[in-house]
Amino acid sequence: MRQSIFVSTALAGLVFLSACAEKNADDTVERAFQDVNVVDATNLTDVMLTVADPNEAVNYFKRSVKEDPKRIDFQRGLAVSLVRAKRYTEAEIAFGKVVKMDESTLDDKVDLADAMVRSGNWAGAEKTLDSVPPTHETFKRYRLEAIIADSNKEWKKADSFYETAAGLTTRPGSVMNNWGYSKLSRGEFKAAERLFGDAVRQDPGLFTAKNNLVLARSAQGNYTLPVIPMDQTERAQLLHTMALSAVKQGDVETGKSLLRDAIETHPQHFEAAVRSLHALDNSSKNG
Residue 39 has pLDDT above 70, yes or no: no
Res 14: pLDDT = 41
Q: What is the pLDDT of residue 48?
A: 75
Average pLDDT over residues 91-98: 97
141 has a pLDDT exceeding 90:
yes
Res. 43: pLDDT tops 90: no
Q: pLDDT digits over 26-37, tens only?
A: 554 444 434 444
pTM of the predicted model as reported, rounded to 2 decimal places: 0.78
The mean pLDDT value for 97-109 works out to 97
For position 45, what pLDDT does the model report? 72
Sign of CA dihedral 237, 238, 241, 246: negative
Average per-residue pLDDT for the chain: 87
Q: How far apart are CA 82 and CA 84, in angstroms?
A: 5
Residue 20 has pLDDT above 70, yes or no: no
Q: Report yes or no: 262 and 273 within 8 Å, Cβ to Cβ.
A: yes
pLDDT digit string, tens, across residues 191-243: 999 999 999 999 999 999 999 999 999 999 999 999 999 999 999 999 999 99
Which residue, among 268, 259, 254, has the nearest Cα to 238 in the 3D structure? Answer: 259
What's the half-sphere exposure (Cβ side, CA atoms, 13 Å) at 238?
A: 25
Residues 6+ apart with CB under 8 A from 106: 132, 133, 136
| Mean pLDDT confidence for 259-265 | 95
Look at residue 161 and tell me whether its pLDDT is greater than 70: yes
The more confidently predicted of residues 47 and 193 is: 193
Q: 183-208: buried (b, 16+ CB within 10 Å) or exposed (e) per residue?
A: bbeeebbebbbbbbbbbbebbeebbb
Look at the chain and count its residues: 287
5 has pLDDT over 60: no
> What pLDDT does residue 27 have?
53
pLDDT for 283: 74
Q: Quick one: pLDDT at residue 41?
A: 53
* Residue 208 CB partners (closer than 8 Å, separation 6+): 177
pLDDT of residue 155: 96
Inter-residue long-range contacts of 242-249, CB under 8 Å, 24+ positions, other chains counted: 242/214, 242/217, 242/218, 243/273, 243/276, 244/276, 245/214, 245/215, 245/218, 245/219, 246/218, 247/280, 249/218, 249/219, 249/221
Interacting residues of 78 by C-beta distance below 8 A, sequence separation 6+: 58, 61, 62, 64, 65, 94
Average pLDDT estimate for 236-251: 94
Q: For residue 18, what pLDDT is reported?
A: 46
What domains are defined for the chain?
44-111 (1.25.40), 231-287 (no CATH)
Percent of the chain with pLDDT over 70: 83
